[in-house]
Amino acid sequence: MSSDAHGAAVPQVPGLKHPYHLPDPSPWPIIGAIGGFLTVFGIILAAHFHNYAVLTAGGIVVLTTMFFWWREVVREARTPGAHSPVVRLGLRYGMALFISSEVMFFVGFFWAYFNFLLFPETQGNGQTVWPPSTVHTFDPFHLPLLNTMILLLSGCTVTFAHHALLEGNKKVLVNCLGLTILLGMAFTTCQAIEYSHAPFAFTGGIYPSVFFLATGFHGFHVIVGTLFLIVCWFRARADQFTPDRHFGFEAAAWYWHFVDVVWLFLFVCIYWYGAGAIAPE
């Protein structure tokens, strides 16, 4: 046993003389990077040439990486002494920095959107209004509002699940996590329905491109967050979380709240404040 920065005893893996965990060599970081590249490159091919092969391959590689890498992380978390207090603190810092990078990712989309909203003449198509007069936007108080209510409710249910975990109530934890997952799936379904009735195409100009990129990447994050919560649901059923050791669930909850907040900005800025002529039903 050694002590952490606060003087608390730190259990160690037998044979180690420090409180830090050194992961075994893994192929998944490089495979995941390749999958991310294929996915982004595939989006470009799909948008410009309607070629979905690379995008499909990238999605498969990303999902495969998520499955096997998360499996390794779960096994690591269950290894006695591997996740000492110092390691868990580092994981929290890492997750916070990851979410910060995701925030900046969406800042780029909002920056592009507000650039054209505040200076519509920079569109370069003769339009001096935003959205362009040729674009009919969604009614913000139709499916977008329903999706907002769904995500806000899911934020409540995942918080209830967290409190149930802290109180050692497994039944409420599993039920609230399951409800959160169903709400995430409902959101994705509603967004797919919305896209199928979109009055504009991705290649229809600057507004459609910014709209689909911002809301589409958010939808992708909802899918990833839902998968994150599904993993947590199975782990909760297997009693792998305790009130004192549950960072995997905590990270999923942080990520889900981040997804909620991004959607609120999308709804207010793009659907409501940026609404133009509403598309006819």
pLDDT confidence of residue 4:
47
Query: pLDDT grade, residue 61 (50/70/90)?
Result: very high
Comparing 34-38, 75-79, 103-107, 118-122, the range with the smallest average pLDDT is: 75-79
- Going from N- to C-terminal start, the domains of the chain cover 22-80, 83-278
Average pLDDT over residues 19-36: 88
Do domains 22-80 and 83-278 share one topology? The answer is no
- pLDDT tens for residues 107-120? 999 999 999 888 88
Statement: 83-278 belongs to CATH 1.20.120.80: yes
pLDDT confidence of residue 276:
67
What is the H or E stretch that residue 70 is in? helix 53-77
Instruction: State whether the Cα torsion 180-185-186-188 is positive or negative.
Output: positive
**Res. 16: pLDDT tops 70:** no
pLDDT confidence of residue 190:
95
C-alpha of 114 from chain center? 23
Average pLDDT over residues 81-108: 90
**Res. 19: pLDDT tops 80:** no
**Res. 17: pLDDT tops 80:** no
- pLDDT tens for residues 156-173? 999 999 999 999 999 999
Q: Give percent of the chain with pLDDT exceeding 90.
A: 59
Q: Residue 213, class by beta-carbon neighbours within 10 Å (0-12 exposed, 13-18 middle, 19+ buried)? A: middle
pLDDT confidence of residue 252:
95
C-alpha of 155 from chain center? 13
Q: What are phi and psi of 137, to 5 degrees?
A: -95, 170
Q: Give domain 22-80's CATH number out of 3.30.300.30, 1.10.287.70, 3.30.2130.10, 1.10.357.10.
A: 1.10.287.70
In this structure, the chain runs to a length of 281
Helices 53-77 and 206-237: angle between axes, nearest 10 degrees: 30
